[in-house]
Amino acid sequence: MKVTIYWDLRNVDLKDIPRIKKKIREKFNIPDYTTVNGETPCSIKDEDMELLRETERRGYIQIRNK
C-alpha cells in the first residue's frame, strides 16, 4: 500500500530522534530520505499496516494517503 509518512517527532528528545527514525525505517523498509515538508513516500506491506498504525497512535508518525 502506498502511503506518505510524516515524521511527527516533536515530543521526542532530540538525541533520540535519529535512533527512533532508524528503527522505524528498518522495520517497515522505508527509504532513507525526507522531503523538505518532513514527509517520506513509501510502500508498506499490507500485513505491516496494523503495526504502522500502532506507531502512529504512539505519536511518532502520521500516515498520509496522498
C-alpha to C-alpha distance for 66 and 58, rounded to whole angstroms: 22
Element (H, E) at 41: strand 39-43
C-alpha to C-alpha distance for 31 and 46, rounded to whole angstroms: 17
Across-strand partners of 63?
5
Q: Amino acid letter at 61?
A: I
Taking only the tens of pLDDT, the chain with its 66 residues reads: 999 999 998 888 999 999 999 999 999 999 999 999 999 999 999 999 999 999 999 999 999 987
0.85 cut: is pTM over it? yes
Sole residue written with cell 538525541: 15
Domain count along the chain:
1
Interstrand relation of 2-7 and 39-43 (parallel, antiparallel or unpaired): antiparallel
Domain that holds residue 51: 2-64
